[in-house]
Amino acid sequence: MTLARALTLVENDLSESSSILKAIDIDLSIPVIGVTGPPGAGKSTLVNAMIDHLSNQSKKVAILAVDPTSPFNLGSLLGDRIRMSAHFNNPDVFIRSIATRGSVGGLSAKIIEMVDVLRAAAFDYIIVETVGVGQSEIEIAGLADITLVVLVPEAGDEIQHIKSGLMEIGDAFIVNKSDREGADSFANKLKKMLHQRLALTPVFKTVAEKKEGIAMLIDWINQSGMKRNDKRLFLYTEKAYKILQNIRMRDINRQRLHDDLSCVIDKPGFNLYQFAAGYLNNI
């Protein structure tokens, strides 16, 4: 079975997916690198530069690009593959976009399973680029072995407002577009905020469009290896929670929920909580 087909079966929860997941030999030594941060930070450009660098070292790289699902049309942009089109013909690079499918935190439970499928496919690195909205920045810690938080100098005035959870999950912070004015000042402010953890949490400056700073970042990733053992239990608890959550929600179809709501939402006396309780009793 091809890798693309196996991922499709798992992503869409088709009948063969359970047997695939139970049968695969998952190589936990393959690092999963999460790349997250706010929109406009240049995450896709940074991932592109990382792919270039690793490809030049004859490494096999898989990328899962997580795209937001619209709450209105239940669709997804799935645009990251277009931005990474330069790598389409590289046999050592595999790129797959996946929709969040309405996950509140931005990460679908299916992403965990798809990463494990990739870990059974003999890649050297797996990169997961998150959507960068909601709590997806936090949830990536439950999936990735190494989490990179990408920021830009323009965030300097807002650095005090960066959510504390984001500061906690970053294994390294990248100030991208660091050729812009204020980059040095922003990087220094960031280092001061991280001063208690600085020995474990480096700050890198990159200009991803020009491939600047990428070699140093990759060297650090190779040297840092997997996350510390004290985070291992946390990681697996988060993964198990997502998998169990997905099993519990398996019988709830979002499109059917949308259609059923459309039939009753305008009726007199409609109550969402009564509807939800009745809906669970009827599935």
Write out pLDDT tens, residues 264-277.
Answer: 999 999 988 899 88
Co-location of 240 and 257 in the same domain: no
C-alpha span between 82 and 47 (Å, rounded): 13
Co-location of 79 and 213 in the same domain: yes
Specify burial of residue 37 (Cβ count, 10 A radius: 0-12, 13-18, 19+).
buried
The total domain count for the chain is: 2
Co-location of 31 and 59 in the same domain: yes
Range of the domain at 277: 253-283
Which residue, 24, 26, 6, is CA-closest to 16? Answer: 6
Q: How many CB atoms lie within 10 A of CB 188?
A: 13
Which residue, 97, 21, 87, is CA-closest to 59? Answer: 87
pLDDT in the model for residue 85: 64
Co-location of 36 and 103 in the same domain: yes
C-alpha span between 93 and 124 (Å, rounded): 10
Assign 159 a pLDDT band (cuts: 50, 70, 90): low
Co-location of 236 and 259 in the same domain: no
Co-location of 175 and 42 in the same domain: yes
Co-location of 157 and 187 in the same domain: yes
pLDDT in the model for residue 75: 43
pLDDT > 60? residue 80: no
Assign 111 a pLDDT band (cuts: 50, 70, 90): confident
Strands 93-99 vs 61-67: parallel, antiparallel or unpaired: parallel
Assign 74 a pLDDT band (cuts: 50, 70, 90): very low
Co-location of 132 and 207 in the same domain: yes
pLDDT in the model for residue 70: 46
Residue 71: CATH number of its domain: 3.40.50.300
Co-location of 145 and 278 in the same domain: no
Residues 82 and 89 sit within 8 Å (Cβ to Cβ): no
Q: How many CB atoms lie within 10 A of CB 62?
A: 26
pLDDT > 70? residue 21: yes
pLDDT > 60? residue 141: yes
Co-location of 259 and 131 in the same domain: no
Write out pLDDT tens, residues 29-59.
Answer: 899 999 988 878 889 899 999 999 999 999 9
207: helix, strand or coil: strand
173: helix, strand or coil: strand
C-alpha span between 218 and 224 (Å, rounded): 10
Co-location of 54 and 123 in the same domain: yes
pLDDT > 50? residue 76: no
More confident residue, 143 or 268: 268
Co-location of 124 and 220 in the same domain: yes
More confident residue, 106 or 98: 98
